[in-house]
Amino acid sequence: MAIKTWLLRKKFDVRSAIARESWLFIPHNLIVWWTQYKVRNHIDTSECRVDGKTEFVLDGFQGSGNSFATVTFKNTQDHKVRLAHHLHSPAQIIKAVQAGLPVLVTIREPGGGVVSLTSRWTYVTLEQGLKGYIQFYGKLIPFRDQFVVSTFEDTIHSFDDVIRRVNDRFETDFQILDYSSGLTKPRATSETASWETERNKIKDQKQEELKDPRYADLLAEARGIYSQLTGETV
């Protein structure tokens, strides 16, 4: 294994561990700042943390439809909402819950979620992905009644109903997507289309690899957690 790959895998494990523990909020905020400001050139990092100005939290494990939900929500609102998103942090979700903020947690059945994650960040192994999924959502089970859960299918196909549930649960008045408005995903450029073609090949490979019996126990545990949070059996 190349040293760079080993370091990237360790970085994923360390970042995931820090994101799960509320007492590690300072290093978590530093990591988020470094990623957003230094790496992605995003000057405003206010949407990457939960604080006193946050109005809505939308978060979930990587590969669960976070980007689609965030873009769709933002495009639907008729005014700027102080949103915290892409935290990938159970600790931040719990902080928001305890502060009484409206929270939407996205989730995808573990097979699809982990394949999506490991096909985008190919240095992450399936075992790492499954363990990360279990540890992420496992932390949220005690708080299940205090946030709204959106499955991947609901996020992609019924986001209007998802926001209705948020409004009903938290007595908010967020604007609801009108599917008749013709809102669609941005068209892929030739570069992104090429990347998606390559990524689909990796996904197929990961799907086959996931059938290996050595992942059976982790997959079963992850599916059990998914069922506890969604009420659905996979």
CA distances from 233 to 17, 88, 133, 175, 208 (A): 27, 24, 17, 31, 21
- For 176-185, which contacts have Cβ atoms below 8 Å and span 24 or more sequence positions? 176/76, 177/72, 177/76, 183/72, 183/75, 183/76, 185/68
CATH number at residue 207: 3.40.50
pLDDT (0 to 100) of residue 232 = 87
pLDDT (0 to 100) of residue 186 = 45
- pLDDT tens for 112-169 read 999 999 999 999 999 999 999 999 999 999 999 999 999 999 999 999 999 999 999 9
Whether 108 and 65 have beta carbons less than 8 Å apart is answered as yes
The phi, psi pair for 68, rounded to 5°, reads -60, -45
Q: DSSP class of residue 49?
A: S
Q: What is the pTM of this model?
A: 0.89
Distance CA 184, CA 144 (A): 31
pLDDT at 187 over 50: no
pLDDT at 15 over 90: no
Which residues span the domain enclosing 212? 3-230
- For 185-188, which contacts have Cβ atoms below 8 Å and span 24 or more sequence positions? 185/68
Number of domains in the chain: 1
